Structures are given as structure tokens and as C-alpha cells.
Amino acid sequence: MQIGYMTQINSYLTFSGNCREAMTFYRECLGGELYFQTIGESPLSEKMPEQMKDCILHSTLTRDGLVLMGSDMVGEKGLIKGNSVSLSLTCSSEEEIRNCYQKLAIGGHATHPLEDTFWGALFGGLTDKYGNHWLLNFERMK
């Protein structure tokens, strides 16, 4: 018998040695439960260089339906940041969107300040101090 799971897409971020710092920052901004597994705590430990033992193999930040994952496991070509992907955060209140926007923007760059939109939402965008792009949205009740 198969356990029923809903199909979903979650964001998985790759960092270059600062995954623990970044995911801890996101927990401070967004709240939730944070889990880390280091390379040293995994079966990969025997195959990896000693200096990588403290690197994060996998991390997960969860809060209600929010799931954000991350790792320090960078491919052979290294970490390449682009502008083709954004993390879209749908907030449940005006207070939450303002709070998250303010915290995520610390050390980053506010690319689109929070503003009321023609589609009836409070919306804004930013690039955080780790180079990740965020779009924040709060749908106002009509």
C-alpha cells in the first residue's frame, strides 16, 4: 500500500560553504523548524576530504506548508548564481509580509519595495544577502 503524498515543488538552494549560516538566517526571518545533516554525519563521510565534514549535506526549514531546503554540495562547475529563479513567498497577513520583507532585505538589496498592486495584493521583491531572489505577496481580502 502506498502512502498518499500530494505532488508539490519545493525550493532547494545550493550554497558554497555557508548553508548553515544562510538557513539559520532564513529561520530567523520566516520561523519554523530547521534540520541539518552534515557530510560528517552521513555515509559519505568516509569518501570526502576532512575539510568537508562540517559542510551541510542537506538541510530543511519547515513551517506549516513552507518547505525550504539547502545544501553545501556544489557541483564540479562551482556555484553559478543567475536571475532565472525566484523564491515566491505567499504571506498570510500584512504584518507577516512586512516583517519577512524587512528581515530578508537585511544585508541585501530591495529591488521592488512593498506596494499595493492592481491585482489587489501587497507585493514586493528583493535579493537577499546570499544572492537569492525573493518575491513576496499578500492577497488582500476583497
Summarize pLDDT for 3-58 with one digit per residue, the tens: 666 678 899 999 999 999 999 999 999 999 999 999 888 887 778 777 788 899 99
Read off φ and ψ for residue 68, nearest 5 degrees.
-130, 125
Average pLDDT score, the chain: 90
Q: Cα–chain-centroid distance for residue 42?
A: 23
122: β partners: 116, 138
Q: Check which CATH number belongs to the domain holding 54 and give it.
A: 3.10.180.10
- Asked if residue 136 belongs to a domain, the reply is yes
Q: What is the pLDDT of residue 47?
A: 80
Please state the domain count of the chain: 2
Q: Where are the beta strands (DSSP E) in the chain?
A: 11-14, 33-38, 56-63, 66-71, 87-90, 109-116, 121-127, 133-139
pLDDT per residue as tens digits for the range 59-89: 999 999 999 999 998 877 888 888 778 999 9
Per the structure block, which three cell numbers stand in for 136? 513576496
In a shared domain, residues 46 and 91? no
Distances (CA, A) of 52 to 13, 43, 55, 64, 73: 18, 13, 5, 32, 10
Percent of the chain with pLDDT over 90: 68
Q: Which domain holds residue 18?
A: 1-74
Q: List the grid coordinates of 66.
A: 513552507
pLDDT for 40: 87
The reply to whether 5 and 68 lie within a common domain is yes
pTM value?
Answer: 0.86
> Domain check: are 115 and 141 in the same one?
yes
Work out the percent of the chain whose per-residue pLDDT is above 70. Answer: 95
Say whether both 26 and 67 belong to one domain. yes
